[in-house]
Structures are given as C-alpha cells and as structure tokens.
C-alpha cells in the first residue's frame, strides 16, 4: 500500500478532499492517507500555519494531495502554498487545460499546458515599506531557476508528444529580469531541435488566448504571469472547478487544484470536486498506477457526459450527488 500525505485544507477543502478520497477508495486503489492539517486553524495550537510535521510527512512519503488553504490578504501569515513550494523546492507548477466532455465553453479545441515557474519572481516575498505612502516588491529572476523550468517544459513536451513550447514574458519592458528568463529559454531550446519554439509578450498572449486558444500548446512562464494565465486558461475549459494542477520538484510532488478555498460556498455542499479529482488522477499516474487513473478519469467523464454536474458548470448536483454518481460509474 502506498503512503500519501493528504492536506485537507480549509474553506471547501475538507468537502472536496472527502469526496476525492471516497472516489479513490471506491476505485479499489489502496492508499494509506497520512492526513495533515495546515493553515489558519493550526496557528492557535502550533504557532505556525505550516508546521514542520507537514513538511516531514511529505519528505517521508514523497507525494502529497493538497486541497486549498486560505491566505488572508494584506496581513497575517505568509501563504502556506507558497511556503510549501519553496521549502520542498517544487519548482515546476504544471497546469494542463483541456476541454472536458459536455462542459460547455466558448471554445471546444483547447488543449494547453501551462508550465509556471514556482519559486521566485514577485512571489519571493521580498517587500518593504519605503515610507508610509510607498511600498516595494522585488522581482527576482535567476538563471538557474529559469533554465530548469524551461528544461522541464521542453522535457514535458517531448515526453507527452507535444509540438511547441512558447515562452511568455514582458521582456520588452523588464529587460533584465524577464530578459534573463527569455535568454534562458533560448539557450535550453537549442537542445530540443524536434520541438517548435515561440516567443510572446504576456499582454498579447492574453488577447490571443481569448480569441484563438487552439494555437497554443505548452506555455512556459515566470511565476506571476503563470498564476494569472493559468486562471485565464481554466476559464477557457469551464472554470476553476475543473482546473487541475501539480507542483513538481526533483524529490517531491504535491498535487493540487488551481482554485482556492472558495469561502463564498464553504459548507454548502456545492463545490465541484473535479479539479481536485483530476489533480489526483495525475498523482495516480505519477505513482505509475495507470489502470486506476484511467478508471477514475473515465468515471468522471462518463458522469459529465451524462449531464450530471455541479452548479459552477450549470448543473444541479450537490458535491455529494456528483461524487456518488462518479462512484456508480466506476
């Protein structure tokens, strides 16, 4: 039996992680879940939002499935999500966006993989209050991190039969920082003659994505653009309720949806567990359990194809009804 760390999160986290664990159990795949709590709720007892025990559990098990954790805006603690990615050096954030059966969207030919750098850029958290009316954030881009994320994107393209990798920057304005990212891309690209290369500015990319998304294949971006563009791509395939993700490093991998803790629908049995479920499917493939991954994915697609879905996709099913329908389709 495989050991996997499970972070239930907060907001809608516990509802969707219960649903996903139930579906995986029903598939017959045996996983020993090492349940770990993190976030605001544990601060009172343990003093910090991301206790050492959570990191130790992931270091021991090597794999984690994570539901969203709330980050208060403007005050309080640093994001557990950002900290986790940094502490475990989960440098690649992988967010595949592909149309799903019966999920109606403006476009029906979206198949984009967003590869987001996960450890630096404006997310390095280096900020200072210059004076009462001025604050500064420092954008950090290093050659090492830029080259390894570009290499990850090209390796992903080769291993998954993709044709093109497109680098996204604003190197015309941020000539040093984004310029270094672009330079790193060009250097790494030389090692992949079989893959087409493309360069685009992030503002132009956003316009193109909402007009002709089918032209894009694998995108590689610095952290902040990656964060924003992956939500845009999630919107192209039906929204955050279906957008999966993974944070991958050399030693560990944490699988989590793109969306946050959705406090507006917390506890209402309305949340769509599909994004976490699709993230779990990727995790199961990463564990080389392809038969179970395919079984679960097929059951989800069959459920969607039959018209059963949650409110975010225009349906009427509650989280538990949708979950039960998937289980009966396994």
Residue numbers of the site for ligand NAI (CB under 6 A)? 12, 68-71, 81, 240-241, 256, 259-265, 271-272, 275, 312
Is residue 227 a contact partner of residue 203, using CB atoms and an 8 Å limit?
A: no
> Which lies closer to ligand NAI via its Cβ, residue 167 or residue 265?
265
Closest separation in Å from C-beta 285 to ligand NAI = 20
- Residue showing tokens 């406090």: 263
d(CA 221, CA 179): 12
Which position's Cβ is nearest ligand NAI? 260
> Which lies closer to ligand NAI via its Cβ, residue 179 or residue 260?
260
The CA dihedral of 269, 274, 276, 282, to the nearest 10 degrees, is 160
* Widest CA span in the chain: 60
> Which lies closer to ligand NAI via its Cβ, residue 38 or residue 218?
38
The CA dihedral of 20, 68, 146, 96, to the nearest 10 degrees, is 40
Burial grade of 48 (CB within 10 A; 0-12, 13-18, 19 or more) = middle
| Cα angle: 246, vertex 327, 247; to 5 degrees | 5
What's the count of helices (H) and strands (E) in the chain, helices before strands? 11, 12
- Cα-based distances in Å from 5 to 61, 63, 210, 289, 319: 7, 6, 37, 17, 23
> Which lies closer to ligand NAI via its Cβ, residue 88 or residue 180?
88
Q: Residue 243: name the closest of 99, 108, 118, 134 by CA.
A: 99
> Which lies closer to ligand NAI via its Cβ, residue 213 or residue 241?
241
> Which lies closer to ligand NAI via its Cβ, residue 74 or residue 193?
74
> Which lies closer to ligand NAI via its Cβ, residue 271 or residue 317?
271
For residue 98, what are its two tokens?
């592909």
d(CA 53, CA 37): 9
Closest separation in Å from C-beta 289 to ligand NAI = 24
Closest separation in Å from C-beta 175 to ligand NAI = 30
Closest separation in Å from C-beta 183 to ligand NAI = 30
> Which lies closer to ligand NAI via its Cβ, residue 44 or residue 264?
264
Going by DSSP bridges, is the β-strand pair 63-66/253-255 parallel, antiparallel, or unpaired?
parallel
For residue 150, what are its two tokens?
């570009």
Closest separation in Å from C-beta 330 to ligand NAI = 21
d(CA 316, CA 32): 33
């Amino acid at each position: 039996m495989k050991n996997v760390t499970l972070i239930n999160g907060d907001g809608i986290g516990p509802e969707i992680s219960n649903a996903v664990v139930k579906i995986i159990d029903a598939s017959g795949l045996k996983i020993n879940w090492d349940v770990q709590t993190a976030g605001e709720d544990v601060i009172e007892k343990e003093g910090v939002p991301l206790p050492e025990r959570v990191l130790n559990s992931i270091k021991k098990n090597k794999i984690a499935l994570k539901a969203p954790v709330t980050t208060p805006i403007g005050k309080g603690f640093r994001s557990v999500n950002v900290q986790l990615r940094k502490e475990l050096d989960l440098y690649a954030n992988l967010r595949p966006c592909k149309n799903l059966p019966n999920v109606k969207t403006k476009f029906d030919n979206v198949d984009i993989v967003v590869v987001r750098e996960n450890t630096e850029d404006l997310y390095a958290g280096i900020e200072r209050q210059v004076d009462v009316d001025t604050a500064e954030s420092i954008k950090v881009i290093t050659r090492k991190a830029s080259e390894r994320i570009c290499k990850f994107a090209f390796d992903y393209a080769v291993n998954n039969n993709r044709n093109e990798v497109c680098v996204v920057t604003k190197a015309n304005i941020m000539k040093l920082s984004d310029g270094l990212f672009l330079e790193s891309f060009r250097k790494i690209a030389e090692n992949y003659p079989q893959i087409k290369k493309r360069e685009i500015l992030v503002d132009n990319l956003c316009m193109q994505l909402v007009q002709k998304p089918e032209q894009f294949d694998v995108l590689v971006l610095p952290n902040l653009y990656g964060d924003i563009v992956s939500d845009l791509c999630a919107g192209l395939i039906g929204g955050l309720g279906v957008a999966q993700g993974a944070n991958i490093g050399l030693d560990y991998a944490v699988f989590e949806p793109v969306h946050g803790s959705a406090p507006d629908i917390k506890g209402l049995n309305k949340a769509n567990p599909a994004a976490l479920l699709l993230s779990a499917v990727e995790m199961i493939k990463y564990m080389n359990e392809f038969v179970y991954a395919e079984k679960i994915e097929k059951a989800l697609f069959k459920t969607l194809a039959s018209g059963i879905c949650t409110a975010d996709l225009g349906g009427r099913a509650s989280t538990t009804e949708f979950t039960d329908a998937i289980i009966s389709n396994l």
